[in-house]
Amino acid sequence: MLTFEKIQSAIFITLYVSIFSTIISFIFSMFFGYILAIYKFKLKKSIVIFLSSMTSIPPVCAGLLVYLLISRSGPLGWMEILYSPLAMILAQIVITFPIMITLIIKNIETDYPIYKEELLSYGASKKDIIFLLISNKLNIYITVILVGFGRAISEYGAAAIVGGSIDHFTRNMTATIALETSKGNVSLGIILGAILISLTLIISIILNTLKND
Amino acid sequence: MNFHKILLSILSILFILLNLNAHSRDYIIVQSTTSIANTGLLDLLSSKFEKQTGIKVRPIAVGTGNAISNAKRGDGDVLMVHSKKDELKFISDGFGVKRHKLMYNNFIIVGPKDDPAKISQETDIKNIMKKISHSNQKFISRDDNSGTHIKENALWKLANINLFDNRKYIKTGTSMANTLNVASEMNAYTLSDKGTWIAFKNKNNLKILFEGGEEMHNEYGIIAINPQKFPHVEYDKSKEFIEWLITGAGKDVINNFTYNGEKLFFTN
């Protein structure tokens, strides 16, 4: 039977995994996004095109990819992270990273030249310009985080494959919904879906209040 | 630039998390078939076993074919499935130590209450499969290499019917409960294990039309994964779990497990 306590643990796992994967994805995409947007080097265009094509990677493919990597017979098998929340975070990073970095690159590519031209004449360093870009474009980064988080929390397939959907440990909301629906508990699936949507609504409201208008 | 520091700290956090996992584990991973997990039996067994021994059980519920292929990659400590032939092959290939009989119930044929293919009068499974294939009724197949799907193929073979490749034969490629959902919506026939059927909540117009007989016997086996093949497995803990299940208190848990007053699994 699905108890309140089980739903609670599914919510906790969902938030834990999706928030962490979004934060890590965001930090990585800021770091590499700035490099890809500002510096000019060989293969830059191919990397950007590859990343933007990866924005539509199906969650099951991402899950399978990570599964093959961290399976005991895979190259990272020694880490022993298959069927753990950490594995779910990794799989969600594969899903969210391309979409977040692509948005960031697009943004900086248009803004950076404008800032640079003006500020360099005032004697600002590259570091100062990047700092100013980040603090002035906070709204855009919040949107990027929301887009990444939305993709992470709503996916089904990636985290389920590498997490194994273990009760109280790696079974998140979407896996619970799929499982209960497949068992014939359709109405319960809908209730869980409503809870999941409310969760994303609350997080979206909180992040939107951070925006400076 | 701060980015380097941030990146370094993330990497070190990941490294610490990985190191936490590096020593001997206090849990075992059980690659299990969906019917044991979806009925809730595995959760019950896991919590009871943990209470008594302190060893956690982490069940991965997938079809028999998937469970075996995961176990062959070394992703698990115990294999709990229901396809004897494949289990024996798993052992002879060196992946498993020994097959123990865990429990049994039976396979059933479910279909529409009014039984348009007229199979409920039959007592021989061969005739039933023939009648279904000759009628214009739909049959829903798991088609996912699970224990039930392997059984279904064996039954078609037994009745000497080549899998009819037409609109009546619908392949879902998903779990038993999901396949029952499809059968229920399409008012069609399907093969199911009895445990999943009893726990299934969306029966609508379906009912059991045939059960019993040697051919429909559904036996679950349990195998510890070979530590010589995969040195990382927790063999001692797996062995303790298996012994607890087949001779210890776990056996009583299986025997006392009911769903809406009906017994789902039987031990030998």
Q: In terms of Cα–Cα distance, which of B186, B121, B136, B128 is closest to B159? A: B128
Task: Please report the pLDDT score of residue A189 as a whole number.
Answer: 87
Whether the predicted pLDDT of B21 surpasses 60: no
Whether the predicted pLDDT of B177 surpasses 80: yes
Q: What average pLDDT does this structure show over A39-51?
A: 92
What are the CA-CA distances from residue A95 to residues A56, A107, A175, B14 (Å)? 8, 20, 17, 19
Residues B14 and B84 in one domain: yes
Q: How far apart are CA B74 and CA B182, in angstroms?
A: 34
Residues B112 and B239 in one domain: no
Which chain A positions have a beta carbon within 8 Å of B28's beta carbon? Answer: none
Residue with tokens 């303790």: B240
Residues B38 and B91 in one domain: yes
Residue where a domain stops, chosen among B197, B216, B235: B216
Q: Helices (H) and strands (E) in chain B — how many of each?
A: 11, 11
Residues B226 and B209 in one domain: no
Here the tokens at position B268 are 């030998």
Whether the predicted pLDDT of B1 surpasses 70: no
Q: How far is CA B74 from the centre of its chain?
A: 18
The residues in A 115-174 lying below 8 A from B, measured between CB atoms, are 127, 164-167, 169
Residue B216: DSSP 8-state: G
Q: 3-state SS string over B56-74?
A: EEEEEECCHHHHHHHHHCC
Q: What average pLDDT does this structure show over B150-169?
A: 84
pLDDT digits (tens, 9 = 90+) for A187-200: 888 999 999 999 99
Lowest mean pLDDT, pick from A106-110, A130-134, B215-219, B252-256: A130-134
Residues B125 and B183 in one domain: yes
Q: How far apart are CA B177 and CA B61, in angstroms?
A: 13
Q: How confident is the model at residue A184 (pLDDT cuts 50, 70, 90)?
A: confident
Q: How far apart are CA A56 and CA B102, in angstroms?
A: 44
Task: Please report the pLDDT score of residue B201 as a whole number.
Answer: 85
Please report how many Cα atoms fall inside a 13 Å half-sphere around the Cα of residue A108, on the Cβ side: 26
Q: What average pLDDT does this structure show over A87-105?
A: 96
Which residue type is seen at A209? T
> Angle at the Cα of A44 (from A42 to A50), degrees rounded to 5?
130
Here the tokens at position A3 are 């108890």
Give me the residues paired with residue B110 across strands: B190, B208
Pairing mode, strands B78-81 and B189-193: unpaired
Residues B166 and B121 in one domain: yes
Nearest by CB to A72, from B10, B75, B202: name it: B75
Give the total number of structural domains in chain B: 2
Residues B17 and B83 in one domain: yes
Task: Please report the pLDDT score of residue A91 as a whole number.
Answer: 96
Contact A99, A151 (CB under 8 A): yes
Q: Do A166 and B180 touch (CB under 8 A)?
A: no
Which chain A positions have a beta carbon within 8 Å of B197's beta carbon? Answer: none
Q: How far apart are CA A27 and CA B7, in angstroms?
A: 8
The residues in A 34-73 lying below 8 A from B, measured between CB atoms, are 34, 71-73
Quick count: other Cβ atoms within 10 Å of Cβ B193?
27
Q: How confident is the model at residue A97 (pLDDT cuts 50, 70, 90)?
A: very high
Residue-range definition of the domain harbouring residue B143: 106-216
Contact B49, B244 (CB under 8 A): yes
- Best to test chain B binding among A22, A127, A130, A183 (most B CBs inside 10 Å): A183
CATH code of the domain in which B231 resides: 3.40.190.10
Q: How far apart are CA A156 and CA A178, in angstroms?
A: 8
pLDDT digits (tens, 9 = 90+) for B102-146: 999 999 999 999 999 999 888 899 999 999 988 888 999 998 889
Kindly tell me the burial class for residue B106, based on how many C-beta atoms sit within 10 Å of its own C-beta (0-12, 13-18, 19 or more). middle
What backbone phi and psi angles, to 5 degrees, belong to B23? -85, -175
Task: Please report the pLDDT score of residue A1 as a whole number.
Answer: 55
Whether the predicted pLDDT of A2 surpasses 70: no
Residues B212 and B232 in one domain: no
Whether the predicted pLDDT of A130 surpasses 90: no
Q: How far apart are CA B234 and CA B77, in angstroms?
A: 6
Percent of chain B at pLDDT exceeding 90: 65
Nearest CA in chain B to A23: B10
Residues B230 and B207 in one domain: no
Residue where a domain stops, chosen among B174, B195, B216: B216
Nearest CA in chain B to A86: B17
What is the Rg, in whole angstroms, of the alpha carbon atoms belonging to chain A? 20
Residues B130 and B203 in one domain: yes
Q: How far apart are CA A88 and CA A165, in angstroms?
A: 10
Q: How far apart are CA B92 and CA B72, in angstroms?
A: 12
What backbone phi and psi angles, to 5 degrees, belong to A137? -105, 30
Here the tokens at position B120 are 């409920």
Q: Do A27 and B6 touch (CB under 8 A)?
A: yes
Q: 3-state SS string over chain A?
A: CCCHHHHHHHHHHHHHHHHHHHHHHHHHHHHHHHHHHHCCCCCHHHHHHHHHHHHHCCHHHHHHHHHHHHCCCCCCHHHCCCCCHHHHHHHHHHHHHHHHHHHHHHHHHHHHHHHHHHHHHCCCCHHHHHHHHHHHCHHHHHHHHHHHHHHHHHCCCHHHHHHCCCCCCCCCHHHHHHHHHHCCCHHHHHHHHHHHHHHHHHHHHHHHHHCCC
Which residue type is seen at B160? N
Q: How confident is the model at residue A117 (pLDDT cuts 50, 70, 90)?
A: confident
Number of residues that make up chain A: 213
Please give the mean pLDDT across all residues of chain A.
90
Residues B126 and B137 in one domain: yes
Give me the residues paired with residue B81 across strands: B221
Q: How far apart are CA A13 and CA A5, in angstroms?
A: 12
pLDDT digits (tens, 9 = 90+) for B189-210: 999 999 999 988 888 899 999 9
Q: How confident is the model at residue A133 (pLDDT cuts 50, 70, 90)?
A: confident
Residues B224 and B94 in one domain: yes
Q: How far apart are CA B265 and CA A6, in angstroms?
A: 25
Q: How many CB pairs under 8 A join A and B?
A: 79
Task: Please report the pLDDT score of residue B13 as a whole number.
Answer: 67
Task: Please report the pLDDT score of residue B15 as a whole number.
Answer: 62
Q: Determine if residue B54 is left, alpha or beta; phi over 0 gives left, psi from -120 to 50 gives alpha, anything else beta.
A: left
